[in-house]
């Protein structure tokens, strides 16, 4: 019986296991390896960080979820991958063999690339639920003794939406507390302009987000490289379009939150610390072809943030390309079909659409965008704003958590609604990219 292993139990890994089990039935063993025994709904972390959610509201214990689906599970974590042996070394000292492997680990947070960055330094983080929980406690202390605040994303970051969400949710919370006037805020980003989002913008995200920041009294600096973060502030260099220095900034801050750059997780390194040749790019992200398959190790697939996707365009300060939720789900569906093809002795033919649907909540409003596909040029390039986005994200949070609890990757009504909107996970047969 074929053995299929998924490394990672996040927004990509869990639906991957569900789709594999549904598609393969009991004709294959499916195992998930994670370094925690719970799922966390990462898109809700900005709410946790301002005290609007508790960690337990967005966490789900995984052993019982996988048991209901007949999926084996280990929370020992992967410490090393040996693709030439088809073997994974686990944190408890055991090993796991596989016939097919899906990598869905997400990234490692590269806090060490900027002095003073991260929870162990002088900034808060919303990248993990424990980081957001720590930030919420510090938020209460800050609100009792407020002062200037700086929020943003450093050079090489690829996930910009949550930085806007956190900044504007913080403003909304400060207004509710009647202390907004005591907290001057600056948004500092490596993006070439507000609303770029690592995507070259979607619809009018530039105009909308600039307007929203003005309405919320948030100043901004773009094309910015973070040099150093201290307990008292942020030191940054703003550059011109050609990369030359435009201005050096020293921004006073009593409370700072920056999204870091990402890189691959350490289990894809060899014993001498180098990345596994042919598996990853120089940042440790997994190389894939149009079928989500690694070009060298043909029984290895990858989905989600851990995949190597080049930037959509060159920017004066380096920026990466985000991997949004629906894009990841389209990767998952293509991968499940392609593994099923291989098990049936057929060559993979399925390609993900990489369509993107995103909801960015600001507490009192929000921005939604649809990019079909996410990488330009696009067939659909749409964005909108309003309080309805806040309501939609609250509904989506509850819906997605229910999907995880019930073991469903894509309920029929979701498939029907998305199809009616022209948003598909797979490219039509016969229309695959060359």
Residues acting as catalytic residues: 159, 358
What secondary structure letter does DSSP report for 426? B
SS3 210: helix
Angle value at C-alpha 27, between 24 and 31, nearest 5 degrees: 75
**Euclidean distance between the first and final Cα of the chain, in Å?**
33
- Nearby residues of 83 by Cβ (< 8 Å), 6 or more positions away: 101, 276, 279, 297, 300
Instruction: Give bridge partners of residue 30 from the DSSP assignment.
Output: 4
Instruction: Give CB contacts under 8 A, 24+ apart, made by 85-91.
Output: 86/299, 88/5, 88/7, 88/33, 88/267, 89/267, 90/33, 91/35
Handedness of CA 198, 422, 347, 20 (dihedral sign): positive
β-strands 100-103, 108-109 pairing: unpaired
Q: How far apart are CA 416 and CA 86, in angstroms?
A: 38
Q: How far is CA 51 from the centre of its chain?
A: 21
């Amino acid at each position: 019986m074929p053995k299929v292993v998924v490394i990672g139990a996040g927004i990509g890994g869990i639906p991957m296991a569900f789709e594999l089990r549904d598609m393969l039935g009991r004709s294959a063993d499916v195992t998930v390896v994670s370094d925690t025994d719970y799922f966390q709904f990462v898109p809700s972390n900005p709410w946790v960080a301002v005290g609007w959610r508790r960690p337990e509201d967005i966490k789900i214990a995984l052993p019982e979820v996988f048991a209901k689906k007949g999926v084996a599970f280990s929370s020992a974590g992967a410490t090393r991958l040996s693709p030439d042996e088809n073997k994974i070394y686990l944190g408890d000292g055991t090993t796991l063999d596989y016939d097919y492997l899906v990598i869905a680990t997400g990234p490692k947070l590269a806090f060490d690339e900027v002095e003073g960055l991260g929870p162990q330094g002088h900034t808060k983080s919303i990248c993990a639920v424990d980081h957001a929980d720590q930030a919420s406690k510090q938020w209460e202390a800050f609100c009792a003794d407020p002062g200037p605040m700086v929020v943003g994303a450093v050079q090489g970051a690829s996930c910009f939406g949550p930085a806007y969400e956190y900044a504007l949710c913080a403003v909304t919370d400060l207004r509710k507390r009647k202390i907004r006037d005591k907290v001057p805020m600056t948004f500092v980003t490596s993006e070439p302009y507000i609303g770029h989002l690592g995507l070259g913008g979607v619809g009018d995200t530039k105009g909308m987000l600039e307007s929203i920041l003005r309405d919320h009294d948030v100043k901004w600096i773009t094309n910015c490289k973070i040099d150093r973060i201290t307990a008292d502030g942020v030191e940054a260099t703003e550059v011109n379009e050609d990369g030359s220095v435009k201005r050096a900034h020293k921004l006073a801050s009593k409370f700072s939150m920056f999204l870091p750059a990402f890189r691959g997780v350490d289990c894809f390194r060899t014993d001498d610390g180098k990345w596994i040749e042919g598996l990853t790019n120089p940042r440790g992200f997994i190389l894939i072809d149009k079928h989500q398959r690694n070009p060298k190790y043909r029984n290895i697939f990858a989905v989600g943030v851990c995949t190597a996707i080049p930037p959509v365009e060159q920017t004066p300060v380096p920026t990466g390309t985000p991997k949004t939720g629906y894009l990841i789900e389209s990767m998952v569906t293509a991968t499940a079909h392609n593994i099923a093809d291989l098990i049936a002795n057929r060559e993979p033919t399925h390609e993900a659409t990489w369509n993107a649907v995103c909801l960015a909540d600001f507490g009192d409003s929000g921005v939604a965008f649809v990019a079909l596909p996410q990488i330009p040029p696009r067939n659909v390039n749409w964005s909108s704003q309003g309080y309805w986005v806040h309501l939609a994200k609250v509904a989506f949070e509850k819906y997605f958590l229910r999907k995880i609890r019930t073991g469903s990757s894509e309920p029929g009504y979701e498939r029907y609604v998305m199809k009616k909107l022209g948003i598909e996970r797979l490219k039509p047969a016969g229309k695959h990219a060359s």
